Amino acid sequence: MKMKTVCALIGIILFSSIWALFNDGVPKAIAGTQSEFSSNQTVLLLNGMPGPMSGALKPAYADKDTVPSLASRISPPANEMPKRARFYYTSLDVPGASLTYASGINIFGQVVGDYVKDDSETHDSFLRYCNNIYTIFTVPGASKTYNSGVDNIGRIVGWYEDGDKNVHGFLYDTSKTYTILDFPGASWTYASGIDNYSGRIVGWYDNGNWDEHGFLYDSQKGTYTAVDVPGAPWTAACGIANNSQIVGCYQDSSWNMHGFLYDSLESTYNTIDVPDASWTVAFGINRFGRIVGWYEDINGSEHGFLYDSNNKTYTTIDVPGASWTTAYGINDFGAIVGCYQDENLNVHGFLAKPSRYLSLL
């Protein structure tokens, strides 16, 4: 699984217009396959509202100072288990792919992600439109491309591996141009999330010692700012909302994984821990403070989650019949994307839509 090898050190640490994306200069649009099914679980209340990317975060070792207790931990009482969500789920599969991962969604319901073909040699990215047409592309000169986030303007961020297996972040904008993102002095750079209008980008970088740090990039000013949870051996910034709130994950000195919510205006960090979870990863956030990610329960099973940072409630997201589910992105209508593994061990992307907003996506 993609983020199982990305965002965890114990096996997990890691589209109003959209343009044609190009692979060798030729846009490739293909019709995808999908199946729709709904869960028979508790209705999700939205209070009036309308990721395993391989090759990413690597282990950091617990030989550093202990992470201090943060001033605020956004967790409910230990006995308040996450609720179950009711969504209508659509399975997303790039034609000819053996694995499909959906990682970002905008308000127009356009989804980005990446996929692996049956030959296991091709690892490229996709943009899926609402009519289930997929556009496939690869960053020029890249051996592998990973789309991670898309904003409401149509800009896409992600990372790619060059011929020397070095990793660089990228921004693909509406002028059909790529901007390569390399944190100064970093060995590898991963761009993960972009806010919807100002073009601020978050991600993480590696300084060459398996030492990961988060960053915030201002695409208008061309400046980088480090994002590090105080005292943490490593930090990954994964998603950003319009109000300067950033989510991600960090590892403490005991190799435990936690999610975090960072207010970049107030410079405050809050830890996100799903109750009774072995570890938690926060990956996406929308403008209303709804956060998605995934966690491992005490039995070793992985589940997606939705966290409402306003009323501090957790909701579990499980694709029906899946052996595991991870959630990566959420738009302002509350639609969520991610991936899951079926009973035959096949990995698919998914789109989860709250029933009351089906007509909008």
Assigned CATH topology for domain 22-360: Neuraminidase (2.120.10)
pTM value?
0.79
Nearest CA among 218, 216, 222, 220 for reference residue 235: 216
The answer on pLDDT for 317 being more than 60 is yes
Q: Where are the domains of the chain?
A: 22-360
Min mean pLDDT across 45-49, 171-175, 245-249 is at 45-49
Q: What local confidence, expressed as pLDDT, does residue 112 receive?
A: 97
The answer on pLDDT for 65 being more than 80 is no
Q: What is the DSSP string of 4-17?
A: TTTB-TTTTB----
Q: Are 50 and 360 in contact (CB under 8 A)?
A: yes
Q: What local confidence, expressed as pLDDT, does residue 291 receive?
A: 98
Q: Dump pLDDT digits (tens) for 83-98.
A: 665 789 999 999 989 9
Average pLDDT taken over every residue of the chain: 79
What is the mean pLDDT of the segment spanning 291-320?
A: 95
CA distance 213 to 69: 19
Residue type, 262: Y
Q: Which of 21-25, 42-46, 198-202 has the highest mean pLDDT?
A: 198-202
What radius of gyration, in Å, describes the C-alpha atoms of the chain?
Answer: 18
Neighbouring CB atoms inside 10 A of 16's CB total: 10
SS3 content of the chain, % helix, strand, coil (to 5): 0, 50, 50
The answer on pLDDT for 133 being more than 80 is yes
